């Protein structure tokens, strides 16, 4: 016996193949990055900028052209001296959908399509009933994506990835979304909670305006209630993928605790979601319902802030958009709590993005997974990070 473990040769072959694929993808993204900065470059100019041989560059650009990621926009005839062969000038294809971000909420699906320059080039939204099975919601999302591409003259031939944000905590729904999108599009698929993606979108948006806070706690109050945590510009899902589920922190008990869709009772969602507020307003009046919700939200966020000490707390969703005074209770309680421990409190602000925040965050998550940005992570079949946490051992 030579002491080798069974299957070790196969494992080495898989590892080498993964590395080769990752190197190739990284080279492609370097080429796309160069063309994002400047359009209309020849292959020789691109090769010089990315440090690749002309042979390798020719193979990569040939593949990108065939997939529709880039197009020939001109030749260098106007600037070329002599009678040599004219060089084609390449640019990103403005009709090429490179990233697809999907937000599967309780009552609607919203999606965005971004190009290789990370610019949103198409969008779509479709409503459905909250009682619709997840399988049908997912099917509608895929149908919407194809419809948007057809109506807005786009193509997914060079699609690099899909990220799907699924509302709630249903692991089966996330698994179904991953399988359906991967089977339909044949690309890397990321699946996470849609509110966590919204948190990432808020952090990325602020990075381009007032400098991204390195730690951000996000809470969205809409048909559902959820949260997210961003640290150093990166979304934190936790070891088991459930970080930020603030909507399911218990805030009431006993006879006052209402049943939550998660199977428990007394969750924050049962007092601060739009549905909960409507029901409470019918019973006790809107002012009393808002006061109860504000106190519960403030309590949950104050506890989270004391544990995590974020630089900023961001609250979004339709509830805050319609009742911005709710933030006053959060600021009051957070300020008092931090004063008690002699620390500077985090800034409490309303979200700056609208209903497309989940889809925007999904695209941001895809971009962050780029080898060009993330380096060269080790890949193998047993560590495929394109799967949702619920699919991993």
The low-confidence residues of the chain, meaning pLDDT below 50, are 1, 4, 371-393
Taking CA atoms, 335 is separated from 212, 215, 228, 241, in Å, by 22, 17, 21, 30
217 Cβ contact partners less than 8 Å away, ≥ 6 residues apart: 199, 227, 228, 229, 244, 301, 304, 305, 308, 310, 312, 313, 314, 346
Taking CA atoms, 360 is separated from 38, 42, 99, in Å, by 24, 32, 10
The CA distance from 217 to 330, in Å, is 13
328 Cβ contact partners less than 8 Å away, ≥ 6 residues apart: 294
Q: Are 165 and 361 in contact (CB under 8 A)?
A: yes
Answer whether 0.85 is exceeded by the pTM: no
Please tell me the predicted confidence (pLDDT) of residue 214.
Answer: 61
248 Cβ contact partners less than 8 Å away, ≥ 6 residues apart: 169, 260, 262, 264, 267, 268, 269
State both tokens at 276.
């909960």
The DSSP H or E segment spanning 110 is: strand 108-114
Pairing of strands 108-114, 99-104: antiparallel
- Name the residue with tokens 């300020």: 335
Q: What is the 3-state secondary structure (H, E, C) of 36-78?
A: HHCCCECHHHHHHHHCCCHHHHHHHHHHHHHHCCEEEEEECCC
Q: What are the residue ranges spanned by the domains of the chain?
A: 8-92, 99-194+357-391, 210-350
Pairing of strands 188-193, 161-166: parallel
Q: Are 173 and 166 in contact (CB under 8 A)?
A: yes
Polymer length of the chain:
393
Nearest to 388 by CA among 106, 169, 151: 169
Please tell me the predicted confidence (pLDDT) of residue 76.
Answer: 54
Please tell me the predicted confidence (pLDDT) of residue 388.
Answer: 42
Comparing 8-92 with 99-194+357-391, is the CATH topology the same?
A: no
Q: For the domain with range 210-350, which CATH number is right: 3.30.40.10, 3.40.50.460, 3.60.21.10, 3.30.420.40? A: 3.30.420.40
Please tell me the predicted confidence (pLDDT) of residue 391.
Answer: 34
Please tell me the predicted confidence (pLDDT) of residue 83.
Answer: 54
What is residue 216's three-state secondary structure? strand
Please tell me the predicted confidence (pLDDT) of residue 54.
Answer: 86
Please tell me the predicted confidence (pLDDT) of residue 69.
Answer: 78
What is residue 315's three-state secondary structure? strand
- Name the residue with tokens 């997939």: 67
Yes or no: domain 99-194+357-391 corresponds to CATH 3.40.50.10490: no
Alpha-helix residue ranges (DSSP H) falling in 68-133: none
The CA distance from 249 to 303, in Å, is 11
Please tell me the predicted confidence (pLDDT) of residue 382.
Answer: 33
Name the CATH topology of 8-92: Arc Repressor Mutant, subunit A (1.10.10)
């Amino acid at each position: 016996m030579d002491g080798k473990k069974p299957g070790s040769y196969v494992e080495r072959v898989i590892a080498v193949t993964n590395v080769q694929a990752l190197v190739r993808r990284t080279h492609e993204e370097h080429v796309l990055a160069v063309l994002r900065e400047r359009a209309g470059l020849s292959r020789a100019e691109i090769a010089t900028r990315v440090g690749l041989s002309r042979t390798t560059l020719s193979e990569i650009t040939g593949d990108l052209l065939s997939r529709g990621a880039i197009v020939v926009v001109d030749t260098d005839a106007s600037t070329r001296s002599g009678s040599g062969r004219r060089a084609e000038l390449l640019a990103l294809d403005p009709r090429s959908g490179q990233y697809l971000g999907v937000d599967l909420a309780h009552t609607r699906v919203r999606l965005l399509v971004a190009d290789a320059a990370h610019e949103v080039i198409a969008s779509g939204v479709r409503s459905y009933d909250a009682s619709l099975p997840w399988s049908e919601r997912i099917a509608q999302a895929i149908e919407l994506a194809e419809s948007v591409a057809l109506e807005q003259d786009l193509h997914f031939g060079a699609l690099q990835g899909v990220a799907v944000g699924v509302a709630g905590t249903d692991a089966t729904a996330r698994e179904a979304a991953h399988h359906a999108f991967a089977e339909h599009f044949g690309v890397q698929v990321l699946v996470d909670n849609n509110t966590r993606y919204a948190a990432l979108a808020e952090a990325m948006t602020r990075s381009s305006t007032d400098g991204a806070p390195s730690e951000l706690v996000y809470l969205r109050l809409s048909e559902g209630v959820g949260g997210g945590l961003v640290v150093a510009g990166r979304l934190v899902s936790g070891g088991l993928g459930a970080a930020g589920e603030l909507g399911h922190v218990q805030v009431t008990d006993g006879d006052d605790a209402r049943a939550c869709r998660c199977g428990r009772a007394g969750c924050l969602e049962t007092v601060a979601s739009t549905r909960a507020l409507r029901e409470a307003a019918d019973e006790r009046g809107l002012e009393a319902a808002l006061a109860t919700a504000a106190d519960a939200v403030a309590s949950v966020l104050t506890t989270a802030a004391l544990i995590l000490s974020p630089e900023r707390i961001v609250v979004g969703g339709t509830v805050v958009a319609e009742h911005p005074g709710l933030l006053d209770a959060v600021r009051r309680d957070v300020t008092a709590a931090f004063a008690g421990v002699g620390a500077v409190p985090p800034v409490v602000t309303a979200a700056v993005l609208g209903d497309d925040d989940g889809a925007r965050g999904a695209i941001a998550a895809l971009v962050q997974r780029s080898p060009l940005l993330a380096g060269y992570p080790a890949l193998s079949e047993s560590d495929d990070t394109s799967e949702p946490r619920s699919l991993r051992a």
